[in-house]
Chain A
């Protein structure tokens, strides 16, 4: 994206010529749309969003209503994906579960990006802050992510907001490290040094010159964090420390299916299939975006 650098004398400020780096948005969007994995990934993802939005209209019965007489019915015309041990309709549960997954994934992606930008820019640009912040991040990352999330959930109790908080905290160091390393390599480039020589303030340099060039890697990383968060939410639910059991989430349904796996495979099979599909769409999207936005990254990963 650096080919788009150009001097842009902004009309409002004639005293200091402004250097600005612009990413040619239409260009990368068009290029991405030529990539089959981006197209395929976005289509599945779009479908998931639609399902989540219209879950109420699409489902055949309320996902929370219990019908004990109807328990553990195999898939049929009446219950497309069967019923669970409380007689809840698995099809409706899966539809509604997508809401929790998308909510947790989306908000976690947003929060990790925000926190990652702040910490990463600060650490990458300030030589004094860098060692302190990075040691702390190293420490956070030395702890397996899922264990840290479990510990945080144990302390704060079940709940959607707590899951989002725990996962954002756990995945933020990764984004911060990425932004930091991008900033460190950008900082040595001529245009940043030119901006420094022109006497622009640190904040202005960070926001106007460094941040826009971090957006590509950030978008790719965000897609993968979305995928991790959806998966981690399901694992937390599965372990019984995630979203409370009365809210339908894929993890919770899989967990309830675990107890009845001998009689009723469908209870855990179908939510897991949805989870796999969600992971597939996000991974395809992430891989595709990475290939189009930064071909150099392709080999490293």
Chain B
């Protein structure tokens, strides 16, 4: 975490571009610029800024946004909900499509099912998510008028509305990942089905159904869980583009506008939140491992 924080801080500050000139506009005078730089602490040497940044982060203070007129932590809290809803909804889509299709394709290797699903998965990997979003908007919002084209309502105000707004973004963001999960779930199934104990189970006269769902499925899940963890990380990045296409006021749009305006504290805040999310996800994945495979123990 500390390494990530430092690298992010340095990267952002090493990238040329000055927030003050963006803030004050082209008409600002030199003394004005100097005064603002001093007020923001940008005139201090970079190592001093970094040190101050560490101390504040440890106190849970991410600083004040240069442009939004509020503390970064407040901005994060306001914008977190749509992104969280979007990410989890997409993950749900990805897992619900990906795992069953991968397991089915793996269990009936070489069958019509396998070939159809894997062709679909290959297409799924290649179709750009943002283009898929646009096609969805055209088909379901413009032509059919079934779903809203863009926007968001809070889960706490109108849950049903949230659902309507989230269907298209979640499906277009989750689709690529479901293809990835399907391919991996299939190869895990193939690997597990080649094991000796599966042959034993078959030799006992168990049906294909019992062998696949009772004996193989659970063991194939362990590597799949790792991939789901990685998927989650990819989804957070992908959410940025999806939020722009669907005009969703989440963290993704926050960080894009912050990057373009050099709003350093906000960029740092969002990245820090993302890094923390990565750590939490990895922890969750480890816990799930132990749950799926009782042989895995953490002491």
Interface residues of A in 120-139 (CB under 8 A from B): 135-136, 138-139
CA distance A238 to B123 in the complex (A): 21
- Known contacts A154-B259, A269-B135, A298-B187; A261 and B142 CB within 8 A of each other: yes
Q: From B184, B241, B245, B278, give the contact of A142 (CB < 8 A).
A: B278
B237 x A258 contact (CB < 8 A): no
B128 touches A231 (CB 8 A): yes
Interface size class of A (residues with CB under 8 A): 35 or more
Interface assignment of B213: CB less than 8 Å from any CB of chain A: no
Number of residues on chain B facing chain A (CB within 8 A): 46
**A280 neighbours in B (Cβ, 8 Å):** 122-123, 126
Check if A155 is an interface residue, CB within 8 A of chain B: yes
Query: Could you say which residues of chain B place their CB within 8 Å of the CB of A217?
Result: none
Q: Confirm or deny: A257 has a beta carbon within 8 angstroms of a beta carbon on chain B.
A: yes
Contact with B along A260-301 (1 / 0, CB 8 A): 011001001100100110011001100100000000001101
Interface centre among A147, A231, A241, A276 (most CB of B within 10 A): A147
In the complex, whether A150 has a CB less than 8 A from a CB of chain B is yes
Q: Known: A147-B259, A254-B131. Contact between A155 and B126, CB under 8 A?
A: no
Question: Does A262 lie within 8 Å of B142, measured CB to CB?
Answer: yes
A residues whose Cβ falls under 8 Å from a Cβ of B: 135-136, 138-140, 142-148, 150-152, 154-156, 231, 234-235, 238-239, 241, 254, 257-258, 261-262, 265, 268-269, 272, 275-276, 279-280, 283-284, 287, 298-299, 301
B residues with a Cβ closer than 8 A to A are 3-4, 6-8, 11-12, 15-17, 122-123, 125-128, 130-131, 134-135, 137-138, 142, 183-184, 187, 190-191, 233, 236-238, 240-241, 244-245, 255-256, 259-260, 262, 267, 271, 274-275, 278
The 5 closest A-B pairs by CB, nearest first: A144-B237, A272-B131, A139-B7, A155-B15, A279-B126
Q: Can you name 23 A-B residue pairings with CB atoms under 8 Å?
A: A139-B3, A139-B8, A142-B4, A142-B278, A146-B237, A146-B238, A146-B240, A151-B12, A154-B260, A231-B128, A261-B142, A265-B138, A265-B142, A268-B131, A269-B134, A276-B123, A279-B125, A279-B126, A280-B123, A283-B122, A283-B125, A298-B187, A301-B184
